[in-house]
Amino acid sequence: MADNRDLKVKRPIEINYGSSPKEAFKRGERETKAYYRKKLVMCKEQTSAIVAKHEELVEVNRIQAKLELLHNIKSKKEQLRVDLRLAKRKMADVKVPHIGWFKLGEPDMH
């Protein structure tokens, strides 16, 4: 009697591909479809991860830009306060002479 190992050695093509060309074709077709489906799933997962990472990166950049703008606004605010104090001091230093138009006989000039 033939051992099970002997059958595998004598007919390896039948074991791997089937007993007829149609069976072999169908099996190959199924395996090929399964292989490319797995690849497609992996590509979809990778694309989804890339999109998610990009969305998070956009969010990080948006917040970072807001912080930079806020920082710039704060520094500008301080600069504007300094400029306002200087302008008020300069305005206080400017003396506008009062002309007594009534005393000069020109009542319509005020």
The DSSP secondary structure of 54-101, one letter per residue, reads HHHHHHHHHHHHHHHHHHHHHHHHHHHHHHHHHHHHHHHH--PPPP-H
- The tokens of 105 are what? 């006989």
Domain boundaries, the chain: 4-93
Whole-prediction pTM = 0.51
The model's pLDDT over 34-67, given as tens digits with 9 standing for 90+, comes to: 999 999 999 999 999 999 999 999 999 999 999 9
**How far apart (Å, rounded) are the C-alpha atoms in residues 31 and 33?**
5
Give mean pLDDT, residues 96-107.
77
